């Protein structure tokens, strides 16, 4: 089983990667650093919360595990 601390660290690193890529996409599509950055931050926060919930749910599912 994965610890909550490990799940959180994985989520933070993944979301930092997502923040960087979404900032680039947001800027490219809008031409505005402020708008592109705002979209990226909102997306990252939502993605982080969803990822943490998703991972914690899967830690409770025994299917597919070899113990």
The values of phi and psi at residue 31, to 5°, are 75, 5
Establish if 67 belongs to a structural domain.
no
51 secondary structure, DSSP code: H
pLDDT number for residue 37: 92
Q: Give the rounded distance of the alpha carbon of 50 from its chain centre.
A: 7
Q: Where are the alpha helices (DSSP H) in 1-67?
A: 4-30, 33-59
28-62 pLDDT tens trace: 999 999 999 999 999 989 988 998 899 889 889 98
Token pair recorded at residue 1: 């089983």
Check pLDDT > 90 for residue 1. Answer: no
Establish if 30 belongs to a structural domain.
yes
Establish if 66 belongs to a structural domain.
no
Q: Could you tell me the residue range of the domain that residue 52 belongs to?
A: 4-59
Check pLDDT > 90 for residue 17. Answer: yes
Residues 6+ apart with CB under 8 A from 28: 36
Establish if 17 belongs to a structural domain.
yes
Q: Check if the beta carbon of residue 4 is closer than 8 Å to that of residue 55.
A: no
Q: What is the pTM of this model?
A: 0.70
Establish if 24 belongs to a structural domain.
yes
């Amino acid at each position: 089983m994965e610890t909550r601390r490990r799940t959180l660290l994985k989520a933070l690193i993944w979301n930092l990667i997502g923040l960087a890529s979404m900032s680039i996409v947001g800027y490219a599509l809008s031409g505005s650093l402020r708008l592109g950055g705002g979209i990226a931050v909102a997306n990252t926060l939502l993605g982080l919360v969803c990822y943490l919930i998703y991972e914690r749910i899967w830690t409770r599912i025994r299917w597919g595990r070899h113990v």
